[in-house]
């Protein structure tokens, strides 16, 4: 298991030449609207540049200046400053790019050839890193990865959150990013797809085969919903999970077994997904593995040969079958069957035990979730005398709220997904927590009556998904005026937008902000990927 060296945190704070430009022409203020992806409200208003517009199909020599949202490299056309975005381009890399399309005030390019490599180049240990869309920055040193993420959050908070550089520095609001000590084998859940069409790189297209030789089990190639990159192992998941993947790969194409991958065009075929989840036995600490086959129908006899191989792996304690009969290719089943062992596994987090079923939501990186939840608990600042009420918005399966319940008077959690609420209630019971109430409801559709069925909270925890918080919820929080809000974000662009609304208001809508931003703590939950988590503390002005 690869870990960050003990001196890594000191090195993380070391400035590199390409990071000395927080306020330079590479700032995210010049980024296109697509950069924020999830909300038009997260976009700064910019005039259309009068500079040169590259044409589709044209090739350009470019230098990547920084990483943008979703891990795309941001470049500028020489002498004009016109912004172009390139997937898999990394800071400092000089390359030839071909323009594929223009989107308003920027263009997208595809890398044709690297002229000189990027700064902090390392050899990617994964053989699929050049093709798989998951680990885009594996050949960038981890030290440089986290610094680039910190830089990205910093720029978004200034340009979309409208907080000044002076304000961030003088009040020490922006904290250094917390790196992840474990950079590989950290994921406790991976979902692989069965496919009838194997994706091949351009140079191998002549090697394409027919029939079952063209079947694949792995990850969808970036940009292809119908083609699957065949994967024999993934360095992000546990070793026992890789043993299961290898066991399935070893035999599932055997014609004598009668197994076929689901075809997204003809809607025929049996196998849709292979989901692997890793937990821990709460008594022994030994890893536990759940294997979940998602199929188009319930035919357990077809899976029996695979069960024999998989159940021989000691860590496997559960084999499930989710049946999804819809033409869609989602992994959530309409019916669920236990084929071997138990129907759930367990995991420990912040001293609590959580029961995880095949479709439960749980933090994907258990080790770093311990760090994240400690930061949330510190920001919440509960006195510990059992006198404070906590409102946990977008509570999921209750993991954050339940870790705070020990020091609170009562926790009220809201979540739209019924199964998540059921899991939250089960987890509360499992840990003998009686001062937590979980309610199913859509926080994007609240009305004037929202808040009538719980007392005014002292602390609000908000952990929205990528689009951030709806304006209705923003209005509610500004009217509620809880003393403290801890905003947990998986999307720094919409996070910056929501912080702006809560602190500065929205003048054109007659909304006045009433909070002061006290701290922003970026956390790297997923090394080698573009994803960034942030924990933000706001206090009532």
User: Which residues are designated catalytic?
Assistant: 490
Q: Would you tell me the crossing angle of helices 300-310 and 239-251 to the nearest 10 degrees?
A: 130
Report CA-CA distances (Å) from 460 to 390, 395, 457, 502, 520: 6, 11, 7, 13, 16
Length of the chain: 541
CA distance 310 to 306: 6
Expressed in percent and rounded to 5, the helix, strand and coil fractions of the chain are: 25, 30, 45
What single string gives the DSSP state of each residue in 475-539?
HHHHHH--SEEEEEES-HHHHHHHHHHHHH-BGGGTBPP-EEEEEEEEE--STTSS--EEEEEEE
Give the containing element (helix H, strand E) for 277.
strand 271-280
Q: How far is it, in rounded angstroms, from Cα 376 to Cα 411?
A: 15
351: left (phi over 0), alpha (psi -120 to 50) or beta: left
CA 40 to chain centre: 20
DSSP string covering 214-259: G-EEEEEPTT-SS-EEE-S--TTB-HHHHHHHHHHHHHTT-GGGT-
Complete DSSP assignment for 372-432: HHHHHHHHHT--SSS--EEEEET-TTSHHHHHHHTTSSEEEEEES-HHHHHHHHHHHHHTT
Question: Strand pairing partners for 292?
Answer: 275, 320
Helix (H, G, I), strand (E, B) or coil at 33: helix
Report the candidate in 282, 281, 280, 278 with the shortest Cα–Cα distance to residue 292: 278
CA torsion, points 72, 522, 468, 539, in degrees to nearest 10? -150
- Inter-residue contact 343 to 266 (CB < 8 Å): no
């Amino acid at each position: 298991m690869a870990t960050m060296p003990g001196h890594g945190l000191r090195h993380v704070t070391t400035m590199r030449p390409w990071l000395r430009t927080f306020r330079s022409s590479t700032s995210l203020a010049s980024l296109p609207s697509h950069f924020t992806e999830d909300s038009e409200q997260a976009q700064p208003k910019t005039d259309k540049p009068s500079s040169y517009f590259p044409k589709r199909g044209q090739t350009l020599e470019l230098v990547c200046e920084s990483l943008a949202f979703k891990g795309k490299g941001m470049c500028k056309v020489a002498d004009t400053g016109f912004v172009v975005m390139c997937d898999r381009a990394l800071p400092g890399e000089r390359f030839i790019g071909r323009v594929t399309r223009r989107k308003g005030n920027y263009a997208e390019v595809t890398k044709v050839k690297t002229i000189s490599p990027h700064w902090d180049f390392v050899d990617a240990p994964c053989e699929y890193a050049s093709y798989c869309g998951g680990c885009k920055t594996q050949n960038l040193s981890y030290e440089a990865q986290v610094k680039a993420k910190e830089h990205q959050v910093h720029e978004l908070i200034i340009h979309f959150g409208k907080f000044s550089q002076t304000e961030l520095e003088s009040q020490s609001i922006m904290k250094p990013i917390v790196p992840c000590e474990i950079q590989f084998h950290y994921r406790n859940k991976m979902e692989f797809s069965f496919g009838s069409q194997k994706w091949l790189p351009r140079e191998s297209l002549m090697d394409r085969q027919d029939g079952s030789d063209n079947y694949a089990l792995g990850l969808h190639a970036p940009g292809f919903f119908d083609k699957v990159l065949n994967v024999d192992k993934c360095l992000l998941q546990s070793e026992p999970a890789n043993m299961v993947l290898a066991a399935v790969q070893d035999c599932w194409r055997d014609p004598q077994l009668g197994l076929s991958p689901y075809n997204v065009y003809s809607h025929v075929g049996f196998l849709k997904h292979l989901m692997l989840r890793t937990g821990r036995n709460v008594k022994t600490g030994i890893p536990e593995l759940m294997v979940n086959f998602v199929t188009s129908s319930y035919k357990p006899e077809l899976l029996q040969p695979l069960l024999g191989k998989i159940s021989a792996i000691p860590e496997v304690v559960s084999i499930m079958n989710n049946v999804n009969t819809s033409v869609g290719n989602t992994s959530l089943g309409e019916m669920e069957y236990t084929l071997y062992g138990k129907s759930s596994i367990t995991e420990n987090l912040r001293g609590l035990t959580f029961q995880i079923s095949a479709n439960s939501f749980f933090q994907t990186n258990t080790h770093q979730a311990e760090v994240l939840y400690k930061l949330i608990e510190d920001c919440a600042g509960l006195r510990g005398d059992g006198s404070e009420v906590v409102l946990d918005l977008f509570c999921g399966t209750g993991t954050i709220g339940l870790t705070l319940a020990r020091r609170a008077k009562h926790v009220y959690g809201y979540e739209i997904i019924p199964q998540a609420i059921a899991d939250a209630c089960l987890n509360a019971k499992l840990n003998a927590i009686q001062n937590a109430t979980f309610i199913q409801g859509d926080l994007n559709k609240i009305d004037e009556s929202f808040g009538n069925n719980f007392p005014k909270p002292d602390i609000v925890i908000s952990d929205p998904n990528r689009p951030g918080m709806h304006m209705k919820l923003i209005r509610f929080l500004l009217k509620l005026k809880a003393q403290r809000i801890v905003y947990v974000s998986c999307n720094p662009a919409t996070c910056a937008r929501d912080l702006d609304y809560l602190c500065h208001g929205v003048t054109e809508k007659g909304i006045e902000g009433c909070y002061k931003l006290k701290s922003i703590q970026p956390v790297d939950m997923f090394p080698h990927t573009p994803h960034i988590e942030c924990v933000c503390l706001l206090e009532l002005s």
